[in-house]
Structures are given as C-alpha cells and as structure tokens.
Copies of this chain bind each other. A is one copy, B any other.
C-alpha cells in the first residue's frame, strides 16, 4: 500500500501519528531534518525480462525494470551517478518535468545538454528538485525510452508544507507501451525507404507489467480465444495490485512514459478527482476516465467508497489511434478481500478512440488552481510551428515549418557557450509558415521538407508564445495527436482550438486568467494549441513531440536562452563532437 508518511490528514491525528511513525522509522527522522542530497548509483544494462509475460530484453537500471523510483522532498538535491554498462551504445537520462534551473547540463538530452555517456563511463546527474509533484525519468537517446529506460520521480512537499488537498495514502502508477520487436529494429524501420512502421504496441504496461498471452479479465471477454491469466503474483508480468482500505482517500500518481500511445485510464465504479497535472496543482474536477498522453503526469484522488466486498478494475486503453492493443489492467483490491478475487463485472470500456470531443472536454477542464503564477499579459515573440508529415529524399519525416530536426554530434549547450559556429546551422529556423495559403485540412501540396538543426535563440527573460498548428499528414483525412513537451520550463496552456489559428479571431479567446502551468500539451487533430513561457532559464532546451518515433523522425525544435549567463559548464558532458575536439586540441 502507498506510504502515508507526510501525507495530509487531520492535524491532531497527524501529530500523534507523526510521533508514532517518525520515532519508529529512522528515514522519517532524517527527512524531517530538511533538504538533503540523495545519492544514487545506477548502472544501465540490457536484461532479459518478461514485461508482458513474453520474454524480451529491457534496458534495466540496477537490474530493475522499470528503474528505481526516486522519492525526494522539495529543496533536495538528487545525485545520480549513472554508469553505462552497455556494450556499444551511449546513454543519457532525462528528468522529465524537472526544470533544471541553474543546471542545464543535467537535463539528460543527448546532443543538446550533453554528450551521450559512453560505454563504461559514469556521468553524475546532480540537480535540485524545487517543485513538488509527480514526475518521471527516461532515456533520451535513440529509442531507449521505448526499450524500457524509465522510472518514477516523485517530489514531496518540504517538511511543514501542506498539499491543497487531503489523502490517506498514495499509489504510484507509471504507464507505458511495449513492443515485442527489438527497438533497434523498430528504429531502423523509421529510417528506411520505404518507411517501415512497427504498428501498435503489443501490450500496455502499468508499472512495467502487462499480460500479452492471457487476460486478467478473459472471463468477461467475448473473445473466447484469449485465456484467463493464471499468475501467482511473483511473475515479472503479474499486475501490481493496488491494495486499499475502504473509505479512504488515495492519491494516485499517474505518469505516462509511452513511446506512442495516448491512454485513457478508468477505475470501475469509481470517480477520480484530478488535482495535479505535470507537477502543478489544478482546480479539482471529477472524471470517470482520464486522458493521459505521453509525457504527461497527473495526480487524482480516489475515494474507496464502493462496496468493500468487491474488488475493482483499473484499466488503461488506447486513445487517438485505432487501438490494436488490449487494455492494460490491474486490480483495486479492497482490504480484506483476496487480491485474486476478480471484480464482478467487466473492466471499464475505454472511450472510442476517435471521440475527440470527449478528450477536448477533459483537456479544457484543466485549469490552474488559484495561487498558480499567472502568465505575463503580453508576449515578446510568437513562434508558430506548423506540424507536418513530410518526405525528404523519399524518407518519411515530421517537420516544423518544413524543417525536420536532425540533432548534431556536438551538444548545443557546449557549441553555443563556446561559439562553435560550425556545430549547427546558425540561421534562425522559420518563425512561421505560409498560413494564408497552407491548407491544414489537406495533405501537403509539396511534401518535400529539409533537414535542419538550427536553434530558436530566445531573448533572456522574454515572454515567448508558441502556437502549435496541427495539419493533415501525408495521407488524406489523417491528422494525428501530438503531445508536445518542453524541457527546462513549465508553460501556460493558453488555449486549444480547431482549424487554423487566427490571430484576429483566436487571440482574444486565449485564457490569461487561469491557464494551467504544464510541461506537456497536446495538439488535437486539425487543431492548434497556444502556449506561453518566459525564457528565464539559461540553457538549451528541447521542445518536441513526446511520441518517441516522431521525435526521431524530426518532430522537435531547439530553444536556447541566456547561455552566456552560465559562468561554467562542466566539460565532462562535452567530450564529443566539436567540443571534444576543442578540448583535445588544447593538448597538442
């Protein structure tokens, strides 16, 4: 069951309980002493594992899949000594949602914030966690996230601080999707002409656990070919049972590390109260099911107020793409029922995949909790990014304003800091597209695109708007969902709209009153999304579609701000490309 240490309940009870628990549990005593540095020594290697009852290979950390959960308090410093135990591959880890204020070299983005860590080498990620919330970490090189390199990162309030909501216990769910095909093979398919697409995932995983060759809910299925799982609970693919007491409130921490899938999560018979999104509090609202896109995190409160003699399903299913993947399932197990007691009815049905109105209704309910910082009223710069699927030399790509990102071998953080003009295209990438003539409802008239690695250089402390403009893909009547994620910042989501963004028409609809602060936001098919952020964090920051194959097909841009304000950059992370040569050149 979830930890209750430090959660928010009746003050008197809390005091008594704190006395009892904290004098028994040494960790609590330590935590109460205030901010500390939390040291981790991690080794990344491949390992045989059966995430969905089918043996495969995962990227494991210290032999675990998913990687170990990091739990810290606001103000703590996380120190992860990451050793690459792979044979031929580099590795990095991105701490998704951590803004890395003052430590842009710890953002864990290969070619952007650092060189990939070579086999046998150790890199020390050292950064402060300054905001409570539900985060996660993952690989940010090649398809290493898809290969299983991810884990949870949870930041609790500093001692003495109170959450704006109450809960008795906590449950942590890290969601992902899983393919049987080797990620190296998947990746080669992306860079092949004709394009080879791996297709939908074989399984959905909850905390790294799914079931491919059987179903926990087979007895409720009309599909008689799938058998009921017979799991002892000790298998790597056995579901993590959610043990709860009746009539309590639980905080479910949800984060999606999926490579591709947009998910809907629901719990049979129970409603959920959404209270946090991407490490920011939101105005609580109740839902029967919740959309969660790759790169997003939420906290929802679940009250165990249903018939305690039953157990209930928690299910995740695919949204936004015709689902070919069975629901991911686990069981909400009311104490003292046996965990193996199946719920009395079928798992919740995932909303129809292309019911975008359902998704939009959910998304539009997400508003900042009072007290959340508000956006500046005006923007200094507006970058409009047309999202298109394109072709370059016959290869299928994704592009922004017709530029498909290919990362350079020299990390931008070093090449900008040291003024290495040959390291990347010095021209600013396009600020806009031909919005008058471009028909976003049709496949591109000229699908030919170009590769690019230029940087949007942002004035320090300026307010930047980004309008993400969706469009039709290469095939007629196809426009995909893209969940965009920004490194180094939270942004305000000023609004979503259908069709082509019009400054005249849509500007005034933007929400400057209580827009949610987030690090991820989606664009709906044929729609636009307006974001605003302040370029106040010296560093170089990726902004990209969080669908891993889309990123590798070029769907990202690079922002840089205030790099000249960084007095020193640890060169440890820059021993590759031109920065590597620069340093080595000094020797001879």
- Given A115-B118, A584-B583, does the pair A142, B188 have CB atoms closer than 8 Å? no
CB nearest to A83 among chain B residues = B409
Chain B nearest CB from A98 CB (Å) reads 23
- Given A141-B88, A568-B588, does the pair A46, B184 have CB atoms closer than 8 Å? yes
A373 within 8 A of B: no
- Range of interface residues on A (Cβ < 8 Å): 35 or more
A574 within 8 A of B: yes
Which residues of B sit under 8 angstroms from A572, Cβ to Cβ?
580-581, 584
A383 within 8 A of B: no
- Given A182-B182, A571-B588, does the pair A409, B120 have CB atoms closer than 8 Å? yes
CB nearest to A570 among chain B residues = B588
- Given A118-B116, A182-B182, A407-B120, does the pair A580, B575 have CB atoms closer than 8 Å? yes
**How distant is the Cα of A572 from the Cα of B184 in the complex, in angstroms?**
28
- Given A120-B111, A580-B575, A583-B575, does the pair A142, B88 have CB atoms closer than 8 Å? yes
A308 within 8 A of B: no
Chain A residues 9-47 with CB under 8 Å of chain B are 45-47
- Given A46-B184, A182-B184, A192-B48, does the pair A583, B587 have CB atoms closer than 8 Å? yes
A90 within 8 A of B: yes
Which residues of B sit under 8 angstroms from A581, Cβ to Cβ?
572, 575
Which residues of B sit under 8 angstroms from A571, Cβ to Cβ?
584-585, 587-588
Chain A residues 56-109 with CB under 8 Å of chain B are 57, 87-91
Chain B nearest CB from A141 CB (Å) reads 5
A326 within 8 A of B: no
Interface residues as binary, A132-176 with B (CB distance below 8 Å gives 1, 0 otherwise): 000000000111100000000000000000000000000000000
CB nearest to A571 among chain B residues = B584
Chain B nearest CB from A420 CB (Å) reads 13
CB nearest to A582 among chain B residues = B587
Which residues of B sit under 8 angstroms from A409, Cβ to Cβ?
118-121
A586 within 8 A of B: yes
A577 within 8 A of B: yes
CB nearest to A192 among chain B residues = B48
Contact in complex: A552, B119 (CB < 8 Å): no
Which residues of B sit under 8 angstroms from A57, Cβ to Cβ?
184-185, 188
Which residues of B sit under 8 angstroms from A552, Cβ to Cβ?
87
A576 within 8 A of B: yes
Contact in complex: B48, A188 (CB < 8 Å): yes
Chain B nearest CB from A190 CB (Å) reads 9
Interface residues as binary, A308-328 with B (CB distance below 8 Å gives 1, 0 otherwise): 000000000000000000000
Which residues of B sit under 8 angstroms from A407, Cβ to Cβ?
120
**How distant is the Cα of A184 from the Cα of B144 in the complex, in angstroms?**
14
**How distant is the Cα of A575 from the Cα of B120 in the complex, in angstroms?**
13
Chain A residues 542-588 with CB under 8 Å of chain B are 552, 568, 570-572, 574-577, 580-588
Contact in complex: A90, B119 (CB < 8 Å): yes
Which residues of B sit under 8 angstroms from A188, Cβ to Cβ?
46-48, 57
A447 within 8 A of B: no
**How distant is the Cα of A196 from the Cα of B48 in the complex, in angstroms?**
11
- Top 9 closest pairs, chain A to chain B, by CB: A120-B409, A571-B584, A575-B580, A88-B142, A583-B583, A87-B142, A88-B89, A575-B575, A583-B584
Sample of 11 further A-B pairs with CB below 8 A, known A87-B141, A574-B584, A583-B587: A46-B188, A111-B120, A115-B118, A116-B119, A118-B576, A119-B409, A184-B184, A568-B588, A571-B584, A572-B584, A582-B587
A selection of 7 A-B contacts at a CB cut-off of 8 Å is: A57-B188, A111-B120, A182-B185, A571-B585, A575-B576, A575-B584, A580-B583
